[in-house]
Amino acid sequence: MSDYTKKIISEVKAKNPSEPEFHQAVEEVLESLDIVLERHPEYRSARILERMIEPERIIIFRVPWMDDQGEVHVNRGYRIEMNSAIGPYKGGLRFHPSVTLGILKFLAFEQVFKNSLTTLPMGGGKGGSDFDPKGKSDNEVMRFCQSFMTELYRHIGPDTDVPAGDIGVGAREIGYLFGQYKRLKNEFTGVLTGKGLNWGGSLIRPEATGFGAVYFAQEMLKTRGQDFAGKNVAVSGFGNVAWGAVIKINELGGKVLTLSGPDGFIYDKDGVSGEKIDYMLKLRASALDAVEPYAKQFKAEFFPGKRPWSVKVDVAMPCATQNELDGNDAKELVKNGCICVCEGANMPTTIEGFKIFNDAKILYSPGKASNAGGVATSGLEMTQNSMRLPWIREEVDKRLQQIMKNIHDTCVQTAERFGTPGNYVNGANIAGFLKVADAMLDQGLV
């Protein structure tokens, strides 16, 4: 790393203490950018990096709500409007008790590069709350969402900032949030994505992140003359992204051996397929926070408190949450002959884990490239909303496949152009950066 990027990282740490995930995301990107800054001194003199690590705007607000017993609760709501150089702020909302400013800043920072890679005109943002949906009734979730939107509505809009789902925010929450926005603004617009099909949502959006990640993995495997047929796959998580990935892996002839939750992981030697995939949806909807019931229901093995990376597989797809795969997990995967790690979650692998994959020269893609199918399909939902014309399933899926292939090829070509062939992390960071940096140069000192 150059003295210049090192200095920026130490400034980020000094200025934003207690935000380790944000530091990690910045460090990972900056490690890729030295070579770009060497070739393009104009980015350095325009202080592009210093500007990109500072959000354009952060909104933090109180979210009071009442539970079913009449007790009052107060949560904290956030929206990070990170970068609007190439389009309106775009990115999901996360409701999880672990949410902090630092977590949302890391996600918003990643989102800027990811959205740039999609080829669609979207800036980067992220938001959410430390609200815990676990064990809450529908009515409680609705009251929380209405209170959250009662503040957020004045900061967002279809041409300003377009939120969507993330951990803990799915179709139900988007529905309550949209209803409240419409009521406050008296406008029916595409202000959120991930909407219901009857009221402006896009076909394939629920499946898009998982499908997209598998399309990306397929492209990576192709570079080594391989495909999913007959491959054993470890998937982590059991939420929206994991669900879409499991469907598509099965369609392509792969076998999913694991799923995981905060309680541990399940190992299903017969593969997660058919009705077992539908069961994942029930498991999520039950808000139990646990994957163990799967083992009981389908006679699979359950490993409490463990992560699925010790299982012998050909392909690993982390689809749960950040930092769920560390250096030891990476060593274990490589030792067991894993040839491809494709991230569905955001930043699930630690920097140490990445270095081990990179040294072992196995195929490894960072989430900002391989999970971009979710936000890309959100972009397609925005297009359909603007046209007031829905596309058929095949049209959306075809575009999603094309976008994932484009992102893959862009990563490969950019990594090569900057002297690190096969390094998808460098490819994604550099390609994502260049488009935003050039737009910022074009637009002057903003």
Catalytic residues: 126
174 vs 233, beta carbon nearer ligand 2IT: 174
193 contact choice in ligand 2IT, ligand NDP, none (CB below 5 to 8 Å, kind-dependent): ligand 2IT
Q: Is 48 or 220 the residue whose CB approaches ligand NDP more closely?
A: 220
90 binds, among ligand NDP, ligand 2IT, none (CB under 5 to 8 A by kind): ligand 2IT
Instruction: Determine the Cα angle at 223 with ends 233 and 249, to 5°.
Output: 25
How far from 248 is each of 141, 259, 366, 423, CA to CA, in Å?
31, 15, 19, 25
Q: What is the spatial distance between Cα 233 and Cα 260, in angstroms, rounded to a whole number?
A: 13
DSSP 407-434: HHHHHHHHHHHTT-TT-HHHHHHHHHHH
- β-bridge pairing 232-235 and 255-261: parallel
Reference 60, options 74, 75, 81, 79; nearest CA is 79
Of the listed pieces 86-94, 174-182, 225-233, 318-326, which binds ligand 2IT according to CB under 6 A? 86-94
Q: Which x/- pattern, by CB under 6 A, does the window 226-255 give for ligand NDP?
A: -----------xxxxx--------------
Q: Does 92 bind ligand 2IT (CB under 6 A)?
A: yes
Whichever of 5 and 250 has its CB closer to ligand NDP, that residue is 250
Q: Toward ligand NDP, which CB reaches closer, 176 or 238?
A: 238
CA 427 to chain centre: 18
The CB-of-111 to ligand 2IT minimum distance in angstroms stands at 6
Q: Token digits for 255?
A: 């076998």
Q: Does 212 bind ligand NDP (CB under 6 A)?
A: no
**What's the burial of 186, exposed, middle or buried (CB within 10 Å: 0-12/13-18/19+)?**
exposed
Residues 358-377 that bind ligand 2IT (CB under 6 A): 374-375
- Sole binder of ligand NDP in the list 31, 67, 151, 289 (CB under 6 A): 289
Beta bridge partners of 98: none
Task: Out of 23, 79, 90, 143, name the contact with ligand 2IT by CB under 6 A.
Answer: 90
**Using the rule CB under 6 A, is 246 a contact of ligand 2IT?**
no
Q: Which residue type does 425 have? A: V
Residue with tokens 């939902």: 381
- By the 8 A CB rule, do 78 and 65 touch? no
Residue 320 interacts with which of ligand NDP, ligand 2IT, none, CB < 5 to 8 Å by class = ligand NDP
Residue 222 tokens, joined: 């192709």
* CB-side neighbour CA atoms (13 Å) of 201: 20
Q: Give the Cα separation of 389 and 331 in Å (integer).
A: 49
395 binds ligand NDP (CB under 6 A): no
The contact mask relative to ligand 2IT for 178-207 (x = CB under 6 A, - = no) is: ---------------x--------------
**Which residue number has the CB closest to ligand 2IT?**
92
Is 128 a binding residue for ligand 2IT by CB under 6 A? The answer is no
Residue ranges in contact with ligand 2IT by CB under 6 A = 90-92, 111, 114, 164, 166, 193, 346, 374-375, 378
